Structure 1
Amino acid sequence: MENLLSKVKQNLIIEHNEDDTLLNSFITAAVSYAESYQKKPEGFYAENPMSPTTEQAVIMLSSHFYESRDGSTGGFFADNVEASKQVWNVVNTLLRLNRDVII
Structure 2
Amino acid sequence: MQTLLEKVKTNLILNHNEDDEFLQNLIFTATSYAESYQKKEDGYYSKLDMNPTTEQAVIMLSSHFYESRDGSTGGFFADNVQASSQVWTVVNRLLDMNKDFKV
The TM-score with structure 2 as length reference comes to 0.93
Question: Which whole-Å deviations, capped at 9, do the CAs of 1:32-56 have from their partners, x for residues lacking one?
Answer: 0000000000000000000000000
Match of 1:74 in 2: 75
Misfit runs of 4+, over 2 Å: none
Q: Cα offset for 1:78? A: 1.3
How big is the alpha-carbon RMSD for the aligned residues of Structure 1 and Structure 2? 1.3
User: Percent of counterpart pairs with the same letter?
Assistant: 67
1:46 and 1:93 map into 2 onto residues whose CA distance is: 22
Q: Secondary structure at the match of 2:79?
A: coil
Find the counterpart in structure 2 of residue 34 from structure 1: 34
Instruction: List alignment gaps of at least 5 residues for structure 1.
Output: none
Query: CA offsets per residue over residues 51-73 of structure 1, 9 Å max, x none?
Result: 00000000000000000011111
Q: CA-to-partner distance for each residue in 1:11-32, whole Å, 9 max, x for gaps? A: 0000100000110000000000
- Runs of at least 5 residues in structure 2 that lack an aligned partner in the other structure: none
1:90-101 pair list within 5 angstroms: 90-100=90-100
TM-score if structure 1 supplies the norm length? Answer: 0.93
Partner Cα distance (2:97, 2:44) in 1: 17
Q: Size of the alignment, in residue pairs?
A: 99
